[in-house]
């Protein structure tokens, strides 16, 4: 029971979150349902690469990572994502 598989050796929780509530972010990848999103089939596409969303919650995972709850307004999906899956986005223009 000694070794735990981790995505990285770094502990994100040693520093403050990279994103804050209300931050506008962009998905770096296509995100599919891994079985944790209710009402959607496993493997069903939830978020397109480049889709814009807003941080609505900040939690933790495995006492190592921040998980950002991101609301993707265009599709109506609220998805938990790691920092490496997101990019900061410029603020929305009034016409958007």
Question: Average pLDDT by consecutive 10-residue portion of the chain (96 residues)?
Answer: 58 86 95 89 93 94 90 92 89 62
pLDDT given for residue 1 in this prediction:
45
Q: Is residue 28 one of the residues assigned to a domain?
A: yes
Q: Is residue 3 one of the residues assigned to a domain?
A: no
Q: Is residue 6 one of the residues assigned to a domain?
A: no
pLDDT given for residue 27 in this prediction:
95
Whole-number Cα distances in Å, 66 to 3, 51, 93: 21, 20, 28
- Please give the tally of structural domains in the chain: 1
Q: Determine the Cα–Cα distance for residues 5 and 44; give it in Å rounded to an integer.
A: 26
pLDDT given for residue 9 in this prediction:
67
pLDDT given for residue 64 in this prediction:
87
> What's the domain range around 48?
12-82
């Amino acid at each position: 029971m000694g070794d735990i598989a981790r995505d990285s050796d770094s502990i994100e929780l040693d520093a403050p979150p990279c994103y804050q509530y209300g931050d506008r972010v962009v998905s770096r990848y296509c995100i599919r349902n891994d079985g944790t999103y209710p009402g959607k089939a496993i493997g069903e596409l939830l978020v397109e690469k480049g889709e814009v969303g807003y941080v609505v919650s900040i939690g933790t995972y495995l006492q190592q990572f921040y998980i950002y709850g991101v609301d993707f307004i265009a599709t109506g999906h609220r998805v938990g994502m790691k920092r490496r899956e997101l990019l900061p986005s410029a603020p929305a223009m009034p016409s958007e």
